[in-house]
A and B are shown apart, each in its own frame.
Chain A
Amino acid sequence: MRRAFWLAGAAALALAQPAAAGDTIKIGFVSTFSGPTAVIGKDMRNSFELALDHLGRKMAGKPVEVIYEDDQQKPDIGKQKTEKLVQSDHVDFIVGYIWSNVLLASLKTAVDSQTFLISANAGPSQLAGELCSPYVFSTSWQNDQTPAAMGLYMNQKGVKSVFLIGPNYAAGKDMLAGVKSTFKGQVLGEEYTVWPSQLDFSAELTKARNSKAESIFVFYPGAAGVQFLNQYVQAGIKQQIPLYTAFTIDELSLPLQKDNALGVPGAQEWVHDLPNEQNKKFVEDYRKKYAPARPTYYGAQAYDAAQLINSAVVAVKGDTSKKDAMKAEMEKADFKSLRGSFRYGNNHIPIQNFYLQDVVKDADGQLSLKTVATIVKDNQDNFHDKCPMK
């Protein structure tokens, strides 16, 4: 009797196994779903789910299964979760990654197993350069690009000198290097803070003020951006030295930053008011489905990642074993991106526009982001020639 039970169980498993492998598109999604930055992961998940809704939850007629994993913002956990997705879940795609250091730790696992990895946020310089891979695509940017655009804007404004502050991890270093790559004025100081534990920036702000720099540039994603702005305003520096940012003010942090963020410019590849049809639909449906939340660039990038995957799956009619064909299709970036169209460089990093965003009060008195100008068109990252792929 017992034996019959086991046999039946084994048979059921044997039946279930190939069915699961062939009939669904399996996607692993690694992001941060716990701790203070869980709001970012949640926004990415919301947008990804919305993209699946828009696709009828099917790609090339096959149902899509998404497995969400929490990296806890830690490189070691992110690597473990990636290994689990690749080795025991046998996913067809891995998406997500907010943090550059988490992505760098997880990269080898995905590449070695020839699983497609779509970074929906992190863009470490190594990924664009020597670590580029046929199996890795980005729907965001290379870290240096956005701050480099900010540097260009500061040149346009005639800023003569800057003091740079950022967190001491992979992305922080890329960001400050990005500003330096385009800013023509003098860099009077460069401070790195312990990431993610240091939340008090009094020592750095004091140094910035004493450096007599004409401007300050910071990169502080998530809650740290709220804290930095709080302290910047409380120290009275807002009246003395203007602030320029990248990834510090977004729809997640704005409700907490409030008036502190008014008039502080940032550079971004996507803003909610970009005038294209698919973006209007995304923003509208997101606000409807997840009210009162508002979508962010993190979410927009995750949405694009779902569209990119869909384009590849449709091109091979759902046969995800045809990796070369999927790669060739994804290189075309043939889908309607929320930021308008973009194309891929040889290293699978988007070549795209960067916009200047400002914080304004909208009609109902709520603080909101607004696209003010296009800073740079069709911008390609600085590391693509270090990538061996042609």
Chain B
Amino acid sequence: MLLVVEQFLNGLQFGLLLFLLAAGLTLVFGIMDLVNLAHGSLYMMGAYFAATFVAWSGNFIIGILLALGATLLLGIVLEVVALRHLYGRDHLDHVLATFGLILFFNDLVRLVWGPAGLALPLPGWLTVPVQIIPGVFYPAYRLAIISVALAVALMLYIVVMRTRLGMLIRAGASNREMIGALGINIKLLYTLVFGLGAALAGLAGLMEAPILTVQIGMGENILILAFVIIVIGGIGSIRGAFVAAILVGMIDTLGRAFLPDLLRGVLSSAAASTAAPALSSMLIYLLMAIVLVARPEGLFPASRR
């Protein structure tokens, strides 16, 4: 029973992290109609900035805040310099250009920081396990990720549902031409949305950095999951991204945790331990396939055209 609680938390933490990444992606895709493969690069840059600034300032929190600002700025610059020229073009052009950006960022990082990767050490108060209920210890840092991500999700909800900017974002997701026609400065809106998406990706990257390592190409594997999430959740929908991210995080973690034992009941032990990781990573795509069949627009479609 305690095992289930702990694995549940693991799934929740992973899901929330995926949400941060997917939220930015779904905003950019849904509102600006831009397929941004370089979203994973922003995730990576967030982690590199954090490792650099934390080492430079000697303070974890200050370093992280600086890194967030830097990723936001990088996103804005990227939008103005490169991506602005892609709007209205074919999706294939987006894929080509943003794939180029992935290569660009990977080599930039190799030039600036070297190929070996960096470490982002945690301050002492985050490395201790916390007893959440009797008998269940959980890493303080993972709890911190859960709380920060939940806070960001709540903030995003308030911004998107309760503010004027959010209203414009939602309007942009349902009908882009119309809000342009109504005299909204769509260029500025796009730049802001992209910057916000970049900052969210950077936040995900820098929060994952102490658990993993800061390394070249760290955003590429996880980007695929982020795309799966926005397809499941419905493109352009923050709420959809949230629900889908939690679902995917849970399925991935609980699958890895319990599938081997379930399979051992049916198969030989060796076969089960080999098949289980493969099967559990397949479950997510299975979910996506089912959602695509039952609700092709995703669980919470943002626009109904």
Q: When each residue 188-215 of chain B gets 1 if its CB lies under 8 Å from chain A and 0 otherwise, what string results?
A: 0000000000000000000000111101
Interface positions, chain A 186-240, Cβ under 8 Å from B, are: 190-194, 197-200, 202-204, 206-207, 210, 223, 226-227, 230-231, 233-236
Of A197, A206, A257, the contact of B3 (CB 8 Å cutoff)? A206
Inter-chain contact B2/A202, CB cutoff 8 Å: no
Q: Which of A33-41, A88-96, A98-106, A126-134 sits within the interface?
A: A33-41
* Smallest Cβ-Cβ distance to B218: which chain A residue: A36
Q: Which residues of B contact A38 (CB under 8 A)?
A: 115, 216
Task: Tell me whether A227 and B212 are in contact in the complex, defined as CB-CB below 8 angstroms, given that A190-B273, A234-B139, A234-B141 are known contacts.
Answer: yes
Q: Which of B93-101, B122-130, B165-173 sits within the interface?
A: B122-130
Q: Which residues of B contact A325 (CB under 8 A)?
A: none
Inter-chain contact A200/B14, CB cutoff 8 Å: yes
Of B14, B127, B137, the contact of A233 (CB 8 Å cutoff)? B127
Inter-chain contact A39/B141, CB cutoff 8 Å: no
Q: Which residues of A contact B273 (CB under 8 A)?
A: 190-192
Q: Which residues of A contact B137 (CB under 8 A)?
A: 235-236
B185 to chain A, nearest CB (A): 41
Task: Tell me whether A230 and B212 are in contact in the complex, defined as CB-CB below 8 angstroms, given that A168-B274, A200-B14 are known contacts.
Answer: yes
Task: Give A215 to B280 CA distance when docked, in angstroms.
Answer: 26
Of B6, B115, B281, the contact of A39 (CB 8 Å cutoff)? B115
A15 to chain B, nearest CB (A): 39
Task: Tell me whether A200 and B277 are in contact in the complex, defined as CB-CB below 8 angstroms, given that A36-B216, A234-B139 are known contacts.
Answer: no
Q: Which residues of B contact A202 (CB under 8 A)?
A: 10, 13-14, 142, 253
Interface positions, chain B 1-40, Cβ under 8 Å from A, are: 2-3, 6-7, 10, 13-14
Of B116, B210, B277, B278, the contact of A252 (CB 8 Å cutoff)? B116
A190 to chain B, nearest CB (A): 6
Inter-chain contact A193/B122, CB cutoff 8 Å: no
Task: Give A200 to B139 CA distance when docked, in angstroms.
Answer: 13
Q: Which residues of B contact A197 (CB under 8 A)?
A: 221, 281
Decide if A173 is an interface residue (CB 8 Å cutoff).
Answer: yes
Task: Give A197 to B280 CA distance when docked, in angstroms.
Answer: 13
Task: Tell me whether A234 and B281 are in contact in the complex, defined as CB-CB below 8 angstroms, given that A192-B273, A207-B3, A223-B215 are known contacts.
Answer: no
A362 to chain B, nearest CB (A): 19
* Smallest Cβ-Cβ distance to B225: which chain A residue: A197
Decide if B69 is an interface residue (CB 8 Å cutoff).
Answer: no
Q: When each residue 114-152 of chain B gets 1 if its CB lies under 8 Å from chain A and 0 otherwise, what string results?
A: 011111011000111100000001111110000000000
| 6 A-B pairs closest in CB distance | A236-B129, A202-B10, A203-B257, A256-B119, A234-B139, A203-B256
Q: Which residues of chain B have a CB within 8 Å of any CB of chain A?
A: 2-3, 6-7, 10, 13-14, 115-119, 121-122, 126-129, 137-142, 210-213, 215-218, 221, 253-254, 256-257, 260, 269, 273-274, 276-278, 280-281
Q: List 19 A-B contacts (CB under 8 A).
A: A39-B117, A168-B278, A192-B274, A194-B280, A194-B281, A198-B256, A199-B221, A202-B14, A206-B3, A207-B3, A210-B3, A230-B213, A231-B211, A234-B126, A234-B129, A234-B139, A234-B141, A235-B139, A236-B139
